[in-house]
Amino acid sequence: MIKKIFTLILCAAVITTALLACGCSGDDSVKLDKPTNIAFEDGILSYDAVENAEGYDVIFKHGEDVVYEDRIADTAIDVESLGLGGTITVTVSAYKGEVKGEALDYTFVALSTFGEVVFEAEDYLANFGTGTRDGCFRNNSLAHKGAYVGGIDDAGQGVYINYLCPVAGTYDFTAYYTTDMAPAHNDVWVNGSFSAKFDFTEKTGWGGTGVYDAAPATVKITLLKGWNTISVMKNGDETDNYGSFAELDYFVLKGNGEKYNMDDLLSYGVRPESYILEAEMGSPRKKMGSGIMGCKNPSIQNHGSYTFSNGFLMGAITSKYEGVEWHFNSPVKAKYRIRICYGTEGSASIAPTFIVTQTQVAPLREADFYDYEQKKMNALAYSTAAEKPVLSEEWVEITLEAGKNFIYCVLMEDLAEGGELLIDYAELTFIEEITE
């Protein structure tokens, strides 16, 4: 008897397996057609209900990537709320139990809206510190996204934003700031030209522990379609601190609400052609006596009729370990090439060295740069120095880890008497991702 029951169960299992394999059902009445009347309108994808369907499997693809998949009972999907954009292909098939109907493929364009774009100041910081323990990156749970940028004390310091703008135009750009020394000011430069000046008129107090009360200030900026650079920085020169002092939490760019196809932006690439790391935006490493490396910014503003990139040039680099430290977040581990736009003074042979670390090399005189791989350039060609900096012909290849990196461009020996290196900016170009 036991053997008979076992045989029956086995037969049933074989029949079920066979039925499933052929896509049929034991129930002849179940027949699932391809969905019909599919349409995409006002952000909603809809199709007619399929007779006998229990629900629908939906798979959305953008190019080869599956961007969303689900099993739903409804015949309409709010695609806009899924945040999908660009040319999307959706595959819809009805199902009932284990039975699946024939799939329908449908391609449509999901437009995106150019609304408000938020930039956290702390995400666009090339200067992690002025050499002080607190640095420029300040955690504060009351600040937007838990952090802000402080310590913008010297000429040319601030934040430098790379932004892929979908629609050209002139827009409101609002900074959320704090200052205890109102009125304070920051310059806004867009794509290498002076654009506007923020007036920070409200005395909000500094952002301290348990205290943070940022106020808004708005200017208008004009952006191109494609990659733009927006720098917000302290004006002044090497001796004063014109502009008073302010701290920056975040910025809001007010888009015009226009609809756009994000795929139209693919031709601009996923990153700028090059990242410009302004020397004055980084942390200067300057010998301050007694063997201590300080971070007083010796930036120089306008020389004669020439305007430096971002308005400032870092000068007075003359001794071993002096130079610039930049903080840079790489989205992936990758090879980059880097070169500098520089000037030279005197007849000294000047061959700067690049070093990459994941932790900051503390600004002490005997910093252990020798513990890291050094990429030394050949001696730079003499240029007319600060009158007009030139790009080095030589590139150096460096590897950046995904996430935080510190990039140093320093001298590894004292320059001969009278020699001086001046750096306007470093140009960093992505070569390829390193996958391990």
Query: Which residues contribute to the site for Ca ion (CB under 5 A)?
Result: 120, 143-145, 148, 249-250, 278, 308-310, 312, 424-425
Buried-state track 257-290, b at ≥16 Cβ within 10 A, e below 16: eeebebbebeebeeebebbbbbbbbbbbbbbeee
CB of 140 to Ca ion, least distance (A): 8
257 within 8 A of 113, measured Cβ to Cβ: yes
Strands (E), 265-322: 275-278, 283-287, 293-294, 299-301, 312-317
Q: With respect to Ca ion, which residue has the nearer C-beta, 424 or 427?
A: 424
Q: Please state, as a whole number, how many other Cβ atoms lie within 10 Å of the Cβ of residue 394.
A: 14
CB of 156 to Ca ion, least distance (A): 7
CB of 345 to Ca ion, least distance (A): 17
CB of 306 to Ca ion, least distance (A): 12
Give residue 334's identity as a one-letter amino acid code.
A
Q: With respect to Ca ion, which residue has the nearer C-beta, 96 or 296?
A: 296
| Tokens (6 digits) for 336 | 């980059």
Distance CA 365, CA 368 (A): 9
CB of 259 to Ca ion, least distance (A): 29
Helices (H), 160-223: none
Q: With respect to Ca ion, which residue has the nearer C-beta, 90 or 314?
A: 314
For the residues of 30-80, what is the DSSP string, one character each? ---PPP-S-EEETTEEE-PPPTT-SEEEEEEEETTEEEEEEEESSSEEETG
CB of 148 to Ca ion, least distance (A): 5
CB of 147 to Ca ion, least distance (A): 5
Q: With respect to Ca ion, which residue has the nearer C-beta, 321 or 425?
A: 425
Q: Is the peptide bond before 272 cis (omega within 30 degrees of 0)?
A: no
Q: With respect to Ca ion, which residue has the nearer C-beta, 110 or 136?
A: 136
Q: With respect to Ca ion, which residue has the nearer C-beta, 104 or 149?
A: 149
Q: With respect to Ca ion, which residue has the nearer C-beta, 80 or 238?
A: 238
Distance CA 293, CA 271 (A): 34
| Tokens (6 digits) for 56 | 């629908």
